Structure 1
Amino acid sequence: MLKALTGSSLVKTSTSSPLTRYFGHLSKSKTKTLGKSHGRVIILGSGWAGYQLLRKLNKKDYEVTVVSPRNHFVFTPLLASTAVGTLEFRGIVEPVRGYSKDIDYHQAWVDGVDLKRQVIRCTSNLEDNKGQEFELDYDKLVISVGAYANTFNTPGVKEHGIFLKDISDAKKIRNRVLECFEYAAQPGVSDQEKAAKLHFAIIGGGATGVEFSSELYDFISEDLSRLYPQLMDHTRMTVYDVAPSILNTFDSKLADYATKKFTRRGIQIKTGTHVVRVEKDYVELKEEGKVPYGMLIWSTGLSANPLVESLKDIAKDERSHRILTNEHLQVLDDEKKEPYSNVYALGDCATILNQDLPATAQVANQKAIYLSKTLNNEVKGKPTDQGFSFKNMGSMAYIGSWKAVVDMSAVHEGATEGGFLAWLFWRSAYLSMTVSARNKMLIPMYWFSAFLFGRDVSKL
């Protein structure tokens, strides 16, 4: 192996392989010599914050580079729909490279950031050279790596639970649901085994947990009930939450409305419940002991990304461990709380000092728009003096059977709605927010196909 050092980029490569020539090219790209007046902006992550920023950033004056282990953006509000076949996976993804030919992209993990040298250390996430290390230097760095699911160090969650954060999780869920039904349909399976295998446990009663429970209910009641009618008496769903109610960030009337709808459909809601540990076939609860399940979905909030945890010399929130920034989204020094002028953080991995904003797609999206305007104005010589201000546009959640809850009381007092009209608003709002014209066409097509022909029940 040969260490090739050019400028500030260090790459370990083999001298004879095509990979050498490829990564050797990377090693020669130095900042301030890119033909762009304001140098290289590296964006870490392709989630809501990172993808919106790469779309809005001025690419005539900035060399925009995106580093992310996945080469696409996921429209997460509709992720639960793909887990049960209401939508297909392609309808909610946007390729990073597909948006613009004027950006550079590397499918890799970021292992560390050297703030003094202005360098990021990366590891390739490609199958043909997985683990290959390389470095990239930057003029401006934007950290938008998101966050991981919070397990609260509960034993067994990572090994036996399923999260709902990405397309791979949705595929795993769809296959697991069908696996449970096929298992219960086989001869020789006792009623007790059927009841255990067809118990679907959702840990977390927030918007994600409620929406997934609703989508799963629709899938079972509208599609699987036709294919496995003999198993419906053995099928049940339970939503567990440590809080006193589900949807506790919504207006209390809407939360009560959703609770009543769930109860009438036979979806059990058990609040004030604490999970002790998760095993392969059962979850142990403090209040009930061991409860068997066929599939367990874990949706209980967020924890810090490992990259964020590894970063030194930057300030972090003591409670959430997210990166602390000032009102201009600049990362703060750990000691004096002074900003790094060329390092920014936004999305779920960051929070503003003395502003406890929620880690939601809405906040991440607005931060990305603000930062893009700031950096674009910098090119024009128009510094942005005003800091970031979050405008709460409300919350929405699907609750099944063509009904939803919409809480826009933050926009206008009393602007809350639950039922069919709220569902129409929920669907039309998310369709309008979809990025590409292609997906604006695909999503209604998938919705109509599922309505007309039913959801796909093939294991992938």
Structure 2
Amino acid sequence: MSAIAKGISGKHRIAVIGSGWGGFRLIQGIDTRKFDVTVVSPRNHFVFTPLLASTAVGTLEFRCVTEPVKRTRVELYEAKCEGIDLVNRTLNCASTLDGFGPDKFSVPFDSLVITAGAVSNTFGIPGVKEHALFLKDVSDARKIRSKIMECFEHASQPNVSDDERAKLLHFAVVGGGPTGVEFMAELHDFITEDILKLYPSLKPFVSMTIYDVGKSILGSFDAKLGSYARERFMRKGISLRLGEAVSAVHQTHFTLSGGARIDYGLLVWSTGVGPVELIKEMTTGERAFAARDPTMGRLVTDEFCRVLGKDGVTPLTGVYALGDCATIKERALPCTAQVANQKGVWMYKALNRAVKDPSDIAPKFEDAGVTPFQYNHMGSLAYIGKWRAIVDMKDPTTPEAAGKAEPNPLQNALQFTPNTGVGAWLFWRSAYFTMSVSTKNKIQIPMFWILTWIFGRDISRIK
């Protein structure tokens, strides 16, 4: 295993694991005049996840929701972090580039920021990883778009029976949270507004269903908004099968806990997230050295995002964690883009302010006047199809955490914005347009929205 020697710049070395919301915001704002920043991530880009469902059906093109990490003037290695050596202050990494060497290398650091994200939670259900599709990255969206068109192409062939057509054109989503609901809404728009115009004879065979173990969809939203979304879906012909868990998944069907067999052409799995392998290794087993959140298996940090040691009290020296892989002790913050985004902004401001000496491995945030991280809930949004959305300003965090937050600047704006319907949809689009991380995407996103409105979505099947 080779080591990458410290550069001659003499700057404080920061290693960042991951390029999601928290990590990307951090490296966007970090002062590279004071820091040498190295990013270790399996992908070389950031993904604007709130609009990923739109790319899966062609409402937006894939390049509209990505941003290269290299544009942030940092060192990037497309690799997976397999271990952290706190004694020698190095990351043990393995390249994720096929056919190139060396496969193993190490990355030194003075400070470490872990933004490893999370993986889709399969709850150990047999067959999910092998047969279901997920929606976490652009590669997933590509697979979904290709599979949708494959189902229609296969169903249109003359040797396929009507029973087979009904099975192929059953589109199932497991998970009634925001991601599952938004994908189903986008899928319904795609099928009814674009695909069925070209395959009108297949309309009687198309069905779309959301399955969830809970008794309602959008459980994190206000109950009235969840009921509104449910009524809209049922009116459009989207079925909801709630209160039953999936027990096993097979290539062409899955079974429910009650024994029912469900045939499908496309199955998208969206049931929440779980810890990645690196976080499991840090928090469980004989070699564990960090505190574990018992609810979701995440890293536990203090209010300065410093990872706590195995005792759950003492912070590890110069090790921080942001985003879906971490939670603040006694603060149940949700795994959402806005939490990770706010932590990333807070972290780069804190580091820029606190690190004075390149040799200072553990900057004293308190001595530098850095205040603890406070989450400011900006509202929850969900698209429900046909130019309709819902907006919920209820803070899902604890009352204590919400009470400490600064006044929400969106509250005044929403006094004049409906929380359902077309007005909420306009707010949904304008909010995500504003959140886009680059000028390039701020130009591309509305451009493709307009092109889709005029010409429809692209139905080409590109593998």
| Same-fold call, TM cutoff 0.5 | yes
- What is the CA-CA distance between 1:389 and the residue it aligns to? 1.0
- What is the CA-CA distance between 1:64 and the residue it aligns to? 0.8
Match for residue 7 of structure 1? none
Match for residue 220 of structure 1? 191
- What is the CA-CA distance between 1:125 and the residue it aligns to? 1.3
**Cα deviations by residue, 1:191-226 (Å, 9 ceiling, x for unpaired):** 110000000010000000000000000000000110
- Give the distance between the partners of 2:5 and 2:85, measured in 1 at CA: 17
**Cα deviations by residue, 1:54-113 (Å, 9 ceiling, x for unpaired):** 00111101101111010000000000000000000001100000233xx11111111110
**Cα deviations by residue, 1:333-380 (Å, 9 ceiling, x for unpaired):** 103620013000111000111111101111101111111111011135
Match for residue 342 of structure 1? 318
Assess if the C-alpha contact under 8 Å between 1:125 and 1:131 holds in 2: no
2:453 to 448, 451, 456: 451
1:277 aligns to 2:277 (yes or no): no
1:189 aligns to 2:160 (yes or no): yes
> What aligned pairs does 1:194-209 form with structure 2 within 5 A after superposition?
194-209=165-180
Letter in 1 for 2:313: K
1:245 match: secondary structure: coil
- Give the distance between the partners of 1:318 and 1:423, measured in 2 at CA: 37
Letter in 2 for 1:387: P
1:371 match: secondary structure: helix
Match for residue 408 of structure 1? 393
- What is the CA-CA distance between 1:451 and the residue it aligns to? 1.0
- What is the CA-CA distance between 1:285 and the residue it aligns to? 0.7
Percent identity, aligned pairs only, is 48
- Give the distance between the partners of 2:185 and 2:444, measured in 1 at CA: 22
RMSD of aligned residue pairs (Cα, Å): 1.5
Letter in 2 for 1:399: I
Letter in 2 for 1:343: V
1:420 match: secondary structure: helix
- Give the distance between the partners of 1:34 and 1:398, measured in 2 at CA: 50
> What aligned pairs does 1:52-67 form with structure 2 within 5 A after superposition?
52-67=25-40
Assess if the C-alpha contact under 8 Å between 1:374 and 1:384 holds in 2: no
Of the structure 1 ranges 59-68 and 330-339, higher mean CA displacement relative to structure 2 is found in: 330-339
> What aligned pairs does 1:2-21 form with structure 2 within 5 A after superposition?
10-11=1-2
Match for residue 141 of structure 1? 112
- Give the distance between the partners of 1:353 and 1:372, measured in 2 at CA: 21
> What aligned pairs does 1:286-305 form with structure 2 within 5 A after superposition?
286-287=257-258, 289-305=260-276
- What is the CA-CA distance between 1:131 and the residue it aligns to? 6.8
TM-score (norm 2): 0.91
1:355 to 317, 327, 331: 331
1:41 aligns to 2:14 (yes or no): yes
Distance 1:36 1:384, change over 3 A: farther
- What is the CA-CA distance between 1:289 and the residue it aligns to? 1.1
1:241 aligns to 2:217 (yes or no): no
Match for residue 60 of structure 2? 87
Aligned residues: 431
Distance 1:303 1:130, change over 3 A: farther
Of the structure 1 ranges 376-385 and 304-313, higher mean CA displacement relative to structure 2 is found in: 376-385
- Give the distance between the partners of 2:339 and 2:369, measured in 1 at CA: 19
- Give the distance between the partners of 1:342 and 1:388, measured in 2 at CA: 16
Assess if the C-alpha contact under 8 Å between 2:389 and 2:428 holds in 1: yes
**Cα deviations by residue, 1:120-169 (Å, 9 ceiling, x for unpaired):** 00011123316710001100000001000000100000000000000000
2:383 to 376, 379, 398: 398
Distance 1:345 1:246, change over 3 A: same
Distance 1:35 1:304, change over 3 A: same
Distance 1:28 1:276, change over 3 A: closer
Letter in 1 for 2:54: S
> What aligned pairs does 1:298-377 form with structure 2 within 5 A after superposition?
298-311=269-282, 312-335=288-311, 337-377=313-353
Letter in 2 for 1:444: P
Of the structure 1 ranges 296-305 and 383-392, higher mean CA displacement relative to structure 2 is found in: 383-392
- Give the distance between the partners of 1:114 and 1:143, measured in 2 at CA: 13
Stretches of structure 2 lacking an aligned partner (at least 5 in a row): 283-287, 358-366, 396-407
1:167 aligns to 2:138 (yes or no): yes
Assess if the C-alpha contact under 8 Å between 1:34 and 1:63 holds in 2: no
- What is the CA-CA distance between 1:172 and the residue it aligns to? 0.2
Letter in 1 for 2:9: G
Distance 1:44 1:55, change over 3 A: same
**Cα deviations by residue, 1:422-451 (Å, 9 ceiling, x for unpaired):** 101101110111011111111111111111
Stretches of structure 1 lacking an aligned partner (at least 5 in a row): 1-9, 12-26
Letter in 2 for 1:82: T
